[in-house]
Amino acid sequence: MTAVVAIALVASGVLGWLLLAPAWQRRRRALRMAEPLPDGARAAIDRNVPAATRLPAGLRTRLDGLVNAFVAEKEFVGCNGLAVTDEMRATIAALACLLVLGRRGHYDELHSILVYPTAFWVEDEVEDEAGVVEQRRRVLSGEAWEASRIILSWEDVLEAARFPGEGYNVALHEFAHYLDAEGLGLGGSPRPLAGWADEIAGEFESLLDTVDRGGYTFLDPYAAEDEAEFFAVATEDFFERPRDLLAAHARLYGLLQEFYGLDPARWTSQGVPAPA
Ligand SMILES: [Zn+2]
């Protein structure tokens, strides 16, 4: 902090701080985004985030900058004895930032990413139809219920890299929940266009019909749970196997393209050939 700024802060008090802080944050973020990504972080992303290796050069540069800013701004907390490494930070940041490559917004309300070594237990209370409240214990690979934190199992984050193209990616899933909740009013960006929510609800209904008939679904049937799960599961497919999603559900692909401002079915750079 320079002396001039310090004096200005003392003079103008807390209100001045509140007004100045966002501009500083924007400036600091711009500087971080302009820095090159450390080699180790880049190698980790190439290894663990297949979608990032397909990005056109311009978007890859933007992703690298977003990762720098995300790693600097967010707190990564190791749980159950896990020591968080630079590889974990870079991988999780890249997955989070893939989702905002073509959008405004940087998870401003998000403060911490809690990383467990493997799947973790959560306990909550559920009320049955008779109003009886029961303690419930569930094992999860990720959770995004709060604006300030996201919880991930590192073992499950790596599954996506071990089985690329299968449409499973817990980190993309949880960060998609986060963005979805932001759009619903937790503090962020509105949905892209009026009518968008109705159209995606229509896609959800058609999935429900297929599940009810016992038919084959391209999306994991878990997507039929509710609209939030539908959006999160479809997001996984949008980034993990975009061409397959486009072929199976062109309208849904188009809606996600609109939401994310990206067209991953066309990402073929870095020597990855386009399908015949
Ligand atoms: Zn979910």
For residue range 142-169, list pLDDT tens digits in order.
988 788 999 999 999 999 888 888 999 9
**Cα atoms in the Cβ-side hemisphere of radius 13 Å centred on 151:** 16
The structure tokens 């990616």 sit at 169
Centre of ligand 1 to C-alpha 167, Å, is 14
For residue range 91-125, list pLDDT tens digits in order.
999 999 999 999 877 788 899 999 999 999 888 88
Residues in CB range of 231: below 8 A, 6 or more apart: 176, 177, 180, 200
> Which residues face 143 on adjacent strands?
151
State the Cα–Cα distance between residues 174 and 152, nearest whole angstrom: 8
Centre of ligand 1 to C-alpha 172, Å, is 10
What region does 168 belong to: left with phi over 0, alpha with psi -120 to 50, or beta? beta
Centre of ligand 1 to C-alpha 228, Å, is 7
Centre of ligand 1 to C-alpha 26, Å, is 31
Q: Which pLDDT band, with edges at 50, 70 and 90, does 183 fall under? A: low
Centre of ligand 1 to C-alpha 131, Å, is 25
Q: Which residues of 86-99 are buried (b: 16+ CB within 10 A; e: fewer)?
A: ebbbbbbbbbbbbb
Centre of ligand 1 to C-alpha 177, Å, is 7
What are the tokens at 267? 């990402």
Centre of ligand 1 to C-alpha 78, Å, is 22
Centre of ligand 1 to C-alpha 6, Å, is 45
Centre of ligand 1 to C-alpha 275, Å, is 30
Residue-level pLDDT at 200: 87
Residue-level pLDDT at 4: 43
State the Cα–Cα distance between residues 107 and 105, nearest whole angstrom: 6
Centre of ligand 1 to C-alpha 173, Å, is 6
Q: How far is CA 58 from the centre of its chain?
A: 20
Centre of ligand 1 to C-alpha 16, Å, is 40
Centre of ligand 1 to C-alpha 180, Å, is 11
Degrees (nearest 5) of the Cα angle 255, 259, 264?
80
Centre of ligand 1 to C-alpha 154, Å, is 16
Q: Which pLDDT band, with edges at 50, 70 and 90, does 272 fall under? A: very low
Hey, is 114 helix, strand or coil?
strand
Residue 70 has pLDDT above 70, yes or no: yes
State the Cα–Cα distance between residues 178 and 173, nearest whole angstrom: 9
State the Cα–Cα distance between residues 161 and 166, nearest whole angstrom: 10
Centre of ligand 1 to C-alpha 229, Å, is 5
What are the tokens at 4? 């001039």
Centre of ligand 1 to C-alpha 148, Å, is 17
Centre of ligand 1 to C-alpha 195, Å, is 23
What's the predicted TM-score (pTM) here?
0.84
